[in-house]
Amino acid sequence: MLTRLSCLLGAALLLVSACGQSELSQIDTGEPGVKPVPAIARNQKIKIVGSSTVAPFSRTVAERFGAVSGFPTPIVETTGTGGGFKAFCEGVGPVSPSIANASRPMKDSERELCAKAGVKAITEVALGYDGIVVANSKLGPDFDLTKEQLYLALAKEIPDGKGGFMPNPHKNWQDVSPDLPNGPIVVLGPPPTSGTRDAFVELGMEKGAEAIPQLKALKESDGDAFAERAHTVRTDGVWVDFGENDSAIVQSLVKSPEAIGVLGFSFLEQNGDRVKGARLAGVEASFDNIVSGDYGLARIMFFYVKDQNLPLVEGLAEFVSASVDEGAAGNDGYLIEKGLIPLPEADLETQQALAKQLEAKVRAY
């Protein structure tokens, strides 16, 4: 199949060159249900979609890449992790996204969606770590929350004390615990399509639910029912879906000192003069605590490469290498200034090896 596609690509390129056409030609791969693949276009910009948490790092690399590589500056769009995968999986070709940024791993259902559209060769690249923080205005109260308290504040239904469940009645933080500030529970957070939302629910609320005996027993007896109880966020106005842009959450927190927000650590780092992070079970949300594993809301950030676009989009493999280069993502890389928590050295070397493999693929075409 790859041999046939390579031949078709070569033939199409000769045809475009001979005819002087500026528009993209279409190549039929011959696979039923799969859209034709556009031939390579000179100066086609790399298109990147996905996570708002990963986007600032991609944009920083893209700007440098465009300035020094000789290739056009990649386009980075913020769509949320889920929305990014949806766009990424629409098909193969230079007009489709070549990279999907993600603040969580790709789901099996998303890989199946890609495969149905002919996107069958995907490389997962780990970029670094990020923490998920609960933050509020510098003018607001100080918070020190446990994961159990997060669950009790934000779950749609909680145990009723009689063996069943009831709609979450908590309106004030002191309804959850008298040790918490006296103020309304108002949380600005990412929508269901966000990888930050997924990670917050899994690392925060789910672990908090496990601390409650009734829910721990439910997990052992019926994992699906437990997940439904642990992952479902309130819809009564306490949690406010605030779009995919963490910067917008920061801006609203500054204007609303009574609210708290759920966002990536890098946004806390970049806005430390305006917002502050809550402690998690007494542990500060800091670079060192995330690296050490002491802070309990941390996850790996990824980007996914559409390998089939490597011969169709100039500079794609080189951009991947630039993203995981020691000077970008290493311990002293320029992305650290943007809030990236670097991978351990051996793990970063593994990602660099993946990047070199992609460059070798391009040379083999």
Enclosing H/E stretch for 153: helix 147-154
Domain check: are 355 and 215 in the same one? Answer: no
**Structure confidence at residue 44 (pLDDT):** 84
Domain finish residue from 299, 323, 355: 299
What CATH number corresponds to the domain at position 213?
Answer: 3.40.190.10
Pick the last residue of a domain from 299, 318, 351. 299
Q: How far apart are CA 12 and CA 244, in angstroms?
A: 39
Q: Which two tokens stand for residue 239?
A: 């949690």
> Residue 194 in contact with residue 103, Cβ under 8 Å?
yes
Looking at residue 32, its pLDDT comes to 45
pLDDT of residue 40: 53
Its domain, for residue 343, covers 2-130+301-364
CB 193 within 8 A of CB 244: yes
88 with 213, same domain: the answer is no
Residues 146 and 288 in one domain: yes
How many domains does the chain divide into?
A: 2
Q: Are residues 143 and 270 in the same domain?
A: yes
For the entire predicted model, the pTM comes to: 0.76
Which residues in the chain show pLDDT less than 70? Answer: 1-43
Query: What pLDDT is recorded for position 90?
Result: 97
Instruction: Note whether 222 and 348 are same-domain residues.
Output: no
* pLDDT of 360: 94
* Token digits of residue 250: 């920061």
Beta strands in the chain (DSSP E): 26-27, 37-38, 47-50, 75-76, 99-102, 122-137, 144-145, 157-159, 165-167, 187-189, 239-241, 260-264, 275-277, 279-280, 298-306
- The rounded distance, in Å, linking the Cα atoms of 21 and 247 is 42
Query: Residue 293's pLDDT is what?
Result: 87
Tokens of 86: 């949806």
**pLDDT 10s digits, 127-155:** 999 899 999 999 999 999 999 999 999 99
